[in-house]
Structure 1
Amino acid sequence: MQAEKYEPPASWPIGMEWRPRTTRGASGRAPCYRGQCACSLSVVGVSWWFSVRLKHQWKRSHNRADRRLSQNRHARMEPEDQEEEEEAAAMLWSIQEAEERQTQQIGASACGATAVVDVLKALGLDVTPEEAERCVQTRLRRIEAPLPDYLLSRSEAGATHAQLIRGAREASGGKAVGRFFHLHPRRSVRLVPWLARWIKKGAVPVATMNMQVGVADGEEVPDAWHHQLIFGAAPGAVFTTNPLDVVGEVEVHQRLCSDSVLLVRRDDVLQRLTSGGLLSDLSQIQGDPRWRQLDVEGQVRQMLLEEELEDGPRTAHVRIPAAYSSGVTLFGPTGSDVAQQILQAPELPLL
């Protein structure tokens, strides 16, 4: 199949090589980040590009409604707390090292297995993508299934944090251990200082994020959650791989503090209504009460009613339960001091 052509965004630096990836991501589309092509950067100019993007993300994230909450929080901080946050910074890799070492998405819905490859690489343990995929056991979308089974497959496609922890342990032969820290409901934690402290101790963080929250007006809503290795944290910013990026702290925190729900696009629902399956099955999927609580059946029937009307608003998505939990998994070498600290650390307190 011929690769689609992607043009560089208007903000792309003049003179920097533009090499868009053509590997297809979990959604079946070319991998993208909030509508922009996820590209592979030449080493020359990477640091400059990240510094420009950092300024952009900082401005953008603080132009949102939660900027006021962030400012109020800082106003209540003690002087020593403000100093701690301003100085909080730690990197597993430099930007150039991350560009050279990161693993591109290894398969459909396989961002979790991709993150495991990079986690073990950061811990000095090399495994093949095939081995990581085998151990994580990525679930795929059942594209051709009737609507009830298709939506069930969407709710669990990819991997949960538990699969990542088990996959890293098995792929490393027991040399890596991990633990998940919930960030929903919202926790009393300053994200960047918390991440920086663990990175300085030798931990390797992986974020499990709902990419469908915190989307700017006018941008397309992504159709999946995402696991990403965090290779660095600095005041106001978090550095990630797959794709290589720097994202504002406020934006990352929004995605890390999400209920376990997934938005499925209208077209993906309607085109499967004729392929069999009873709508009543949507309220009884695997005995999970969340399907009934979210009234998935009622949402689909509403879409059908809208199709019969010539005018009026159209519901953009159906909201279904998701198998994933938002938060951060910390990994470390089995038996190490940092691994013991990870396993013995208390849960983050509720806000």
Structure 2
Amino acid sequence: MDSRDPCRGAVGQERSAEDEKVQSVMIWRLEEAEQKQIVQIGSSACGATAVLNILQALRFDIPAEVVARCVQTRLRKNDAPLAEYLISRSVAGATHQQLIEGAERATEGGVVGKFFSFYPERRVQLTAWLAHWMRRGAVAVLTMNMQVAVPRDKEIPDAWHHQMIFGVDTEEIYMTNPLEIVKSSLVKQRLSSESLLLIRRHDILARLSGGTDFSRFKQLPNHSLWEQLDVAGLH
């Protein structure tokens, strides 16, 4: 996102990004990020938190409650029956559109955003591509499937995650909430994932009963995908 217009010349700029030599580009130094970053402001609110960090980087002083209201984070329905719980999990958090519109509303048009899909995998050198936009005043948020490329000794996370980027160098990307430095090759795997979510077994079994009604799935706009994935386990 940017306090200018990041859409201008987007196609040509994406092509030229590959020709730029990757050098360290930092919005904040690491010490600054430790002081300035905003950490998770609520359940499923990593998107709203990322927007807050963007606004912090762009020097907009807007209260967290205002940003949260503008982003309109959706929550998990943890106490709902299984079918309703699964539906809530499929939309919990915030989409890229909610983040862009939320930032625009919170700043009354002072910040505008542009979404770039990375699935199927975009054929770019990620750090060079990010550095290209950052040099032009943009602040990036990456939406990643954290269930991809999980180390064998780690538990698989149960959600995707939005993180604001405050720096890049040749092979690493610097992110907030949590503050971490991650190899760009790993980030790109998570960034280029299909829109799928794994649900933990115990979360299913805790809500499963003989009378579970899955007919609610047929009312969803994307019900054919739910059937294709056999979410109800009927095939």
TM over 0.5: yes
Which of the numbers 217, 222, 236 marks the counterpart of 2:152? 217
AA in 2 matched with 1:244: L
State whether structure 2 residue 99 is matched by structure 1 residue 128. no
State whether structure 2 residue 88 is matched by structure 1 residue 157. no
The answer on whether the counterparts of 1:184 and 1:257 sit within 8 Å (CA) in structure 2 is: yes
State whether structure 2 residue 46 is matched by structure 1 residue 111. yes
AA in 1 matched with 2:227: R
The answer on whether the counterparts of 1:89 and 1:193 sit within 8 Å (CA) in structure 2 is: no
Structure 2 unaligned segments of length 5 or more: list them: 1-17
Which residue number in structure 2 is paired with residue 95 of structure 1? Answer: 30
SS in 2 for 1:149: helix
State whether structure 2 residue 141 is matched by structure 1 residue 206. yes
Instruction: Identify the structure with the greater strand proportion.
Output: 1
Question: Residue deviations 1:225-246, cap 9 Å, x none?
Answer: 0000000010110000000000
AA in 2 matched with 1:196: A
> Sequence identity, in percent?
52
Superposed displacement of residue 279, structure 1: 3.5
Which residue number in structure 2 is paired with residue 171 of structure 1? Answer: 106
What is the distance in 1 between the residues matched to 2:213 and 2:141?
38
Which residue number in structure 1 is paired with residue 161 of structure 2? Answer: 226
Q: How does 1:75-90 map to 2 (within 5 A)?
A: 84-85=20-21, 87-90=22-25
SS in 2 for 1:214: coil
The TM-score, its normalising length taken from structure 2, stands at 0.88
What is the distance in 2 between the residues matched to 1:191 and 1:287?
33
State whether structure 2 residue 170 is matched by structure 1 residue 235. yes
Superposed displacement of residue 201, structure 1: 1.0
CA RMSD of aligned residues (A): 1.6
Which residue number in structure 1 is paired with residue 206 of structure 2? Answer: 271
The answer on whether the counterparts of 1:207 and 1:227 sit within 8 Å (CA) in structure 2 is: yes
What is the distance in 2 between the residues matched to 1:243 and 1:128?
20
State whether structure 2 residue 186 is matched by structure 1 residue 247. no
The answer on whether the counterparts of 2:20 and 2:132 sit within 8 Å (CA) in structure 1 is: no
What is the distance in 2 between the residues matched to 1:145 and 1:99?
38
Q: Which has the larger radius of gyration?
A: 1
Superposed displacement of residue 188, structure 1: 1.2
SS in 2 for 1:227: strand
Identify which of structures 1 and 2 has the higher relative contact order when contacts are C-alpha pairs closer than 8 Å and 6+ apart. 2
**Where has structure 1 moved over 6 Å in runs of 4 or more?**
none
What is the distance in 2 between the residues matched to 1:241 and 1:281?
37
Question: Residue deviations 1:169-199, cap 9 Å, x none?
Answer: 0011110000100111011100000101111
The answer on whether the counterparts of 1:147 and 1:276 sit within 8 Å (CA) in structure 2 is: no
Which residue number in structure 1 is paired with residue 78 of structure 2? Answer: 143
Superposed displacement of residue 84, structure 1: 4.5
AA in 2 matched with 1:104: V
Superposed displacement of residue 204, structure 1: 0.4
The TM-score, its normalising length taken from structure 1, stands at 0.60
CA 1:92–1:144 in 2, change beyond 3 Å: closer, same or farther?
same
What is the distance in 1 between the residues matched to 2:211 and 2:52?
39
CA 1:236–1:146 in 2, change beyond 3 Å: closer, same or farther?
same
AA in 2 matched with 1:227: H
